[in-house]
Chains A and B, each alone.
Chain A
């Protein structure tokens, strides 16, 4: 009897899971399909004739043609809500990731007391992370320089071909930014893996010799770098100590500057400019150019 109930329960769970998977596939497909259909219809209308392609008749006929999937989408959305309400999936546990374990151990382990092979391995990981972080910053700076060199060059702007100028600029700016972001992602992934490896090394070293947990004396075991780390930590401690005061000072300065600029802006006609633009239809905003 219990087995039958258990089997029925398992079958029900399986059926619910399958229903959710089917729904997920349908909603992904339909959402993308509806988006693509709208885009294709719009592009089709634009390509249909040279002069004034967007007429009420053209829009109506194109969107009538895609009415079925467009209407099906909200219907499927409603089905999804009902499915999740009546047959909810059990909650998934999300794994929390944080650096706490690493941060705690790296503060307590004196690298100088590690055996030479272990010490070398741990320091290599730390130097790797330092190098990756510096490299990532350097790539970001390089990308910024490239972006600014192109963006601030007046020769790249042409009144005769505004759209073309902006397109060409975008084709330089965004790939540079994306490459920099890609490197940033690779660097953060590399650093994450390096911390995991270092954590494993530290844990195995502690198992062999608990005396190494006497507190970290130096992070890199190299004079210049450790002095730099010390300086940064002192600065952080100082900023932390006076954080509240600093925040209030910055707030006061920003507030005073803002009020002064507001008054100046009203007096020099800046506010009237805002009104003047806002009460006219912004042809650029609505796509008239």
Chain B
């Protein structure tokens, strides 16, 4: 009996590092939860029930046949478009509540499109390292937020046109989940005949995002996603996320070097609270906000060791 136990223990020890982490499991469960209308993939129709009063925290097109809830970005744009008739209190409240409770933890744990990028990034290939260039480019998502999500939909109200500009011209989640999800079903073949230049453009955007995600970690999240831009404003005050003890922190910089996002310090606007920096900290200064729940970060890239330059240690 002991021999059998030992055998399974040894086997588990060998395969453990290849098992999905708790974070990955949460991502998978949430992707499944937000796309629980699996029947929609077979019938080629979208869910029309009362759950669609509520928005998912992450990016998940509501035209995806599996989508069980509404998309916060699409709903925000449509609320702004309808703002000449009624103020967009509901969507502003939803964004405030999600941001306050979760901040960009949503990006790290709950967003289905984030999960897709994480999985695509796992393809073994040379990777584009983060740098001052990528840090500077990370400001581009605020431009998408300001112009495509807020200004264009509002300005087109004056022209009596409904233009959710981000959904229409950019969102790859809509192309992947909504367009391909619906059009792949033969039941929707008549919709195929209505495709034209706009779909071609959006397909190009999707293809570029997916190819870039192979080489660059979370390409869409870092440079394009307006939802991440919105939630980043709440990172400091959110209840859930990553924080660090300034008293214990020795400014060694290992957390920043190890992190694949363009952070300047743990918990800043670029931090998606994935928790991969926690085991890297030599003084255990980094922890989860909001209590004692533990998630072991075993997503650490095995090819990257972080060493503090001995010379720098001495100089300090």
Contact = CB atoms under 8 A, between A and B. Distances in A.
B124 A101 contact: no
A170 B144 CA distance: 10
- Interface of B, helix, strand, loop or mixed by DSSP: helix
A96 B125 contact: no
Contacts of A271: 53, 90
Contacts of B183: 286
Nearest to B157: A157
Given A83-B124, A287-B175, A288-B198, A262 B94 contact: yes
A151 B252 CA distance: 43
A127 interface: no
Contact of A182 (B136, B215, B303): B136
B196 A265 contact: no
Interface stretch (B1-9, B20-28, B55-63, B269-277): B55-63
B155 A152 contact: yes
A188 B135 contact: yes
Contacts of A163: 197-198
Interface in A108-144: none
B152 A169 contact: yes
Given A56-B189, A166-B165, A94 B304 contact: yes
A235 interface: no
B240 interface: no
A24 B137 CA distance: 26
Interface in A258-275: 258-262, 264-266, 268-275
Contacts of A27: 123-125, 214
Size class of the contact patch on chain B = 35 or more
Nearest to B183: A286
Given A174-B143, A277-B74, A286 B182 contact: yes
A286 B63 contact: yes
B133 interface: yes
For B126, B133, B168, B178, the residue with the greatest tally of chain A CB atoms inside 10 Å of its CB is: B168
A95 B306 CA distance: 7
A29 to B, nearest CB: 10
A274 B54 CA distance: 8
B120 to A, nearest CB: 10
A274 B70 contact: yes
Interface string A82-120: 011000110111111110110111000000000000000
A217 B316 CA distance: 20
Interface of B: 46-50, 52-53, 55, 61-63, 67, 69-71, 74-75, 78-79, 82, 86-94, 96-97, 99-100, 123-126, 132-133, 135-137, 139-140, 143, 146-147, 151-152, 155-156, 158-161, 163-165, 167-169, 171, 174-175, 178-179, 182-183, 186, 189, 191-204, 207-208, 210-211, 214-215, 234, 236-237, 239, 251-254, 256-258, 302-309, 312, 315-316
25 contacts: A23-B124, A42-B204, A46-B199, A77-B124, A88-B302, A91-B302, A91-B303, A93-B305, A93-B307, A96-B252, A154-B155, A170-B147, A173-B143, A254-B234, A261-B93, A268-B90, A269-B86, A274-B79, A278-B75, A279-B46, A282-B61, A282-B178, A284-B167, A285-B167, A286-B174
Q: Closest 5 CB pairs between A and B?
A: A265-B90, A287-B199, A270-B90, A98-B253, A285-B174
Given A147-B143, A281-B182, 18 more contacts: A28-B126, A42-B203, A42-B204, A46-B197, A56-B192, A96-B312, A157-B152, A157-B156, A163-B197, A177-B143, A180-B139, A188-B135, A255-B97, A264-B87, A265-B92, A282-B63, A285-B63, A288-B198
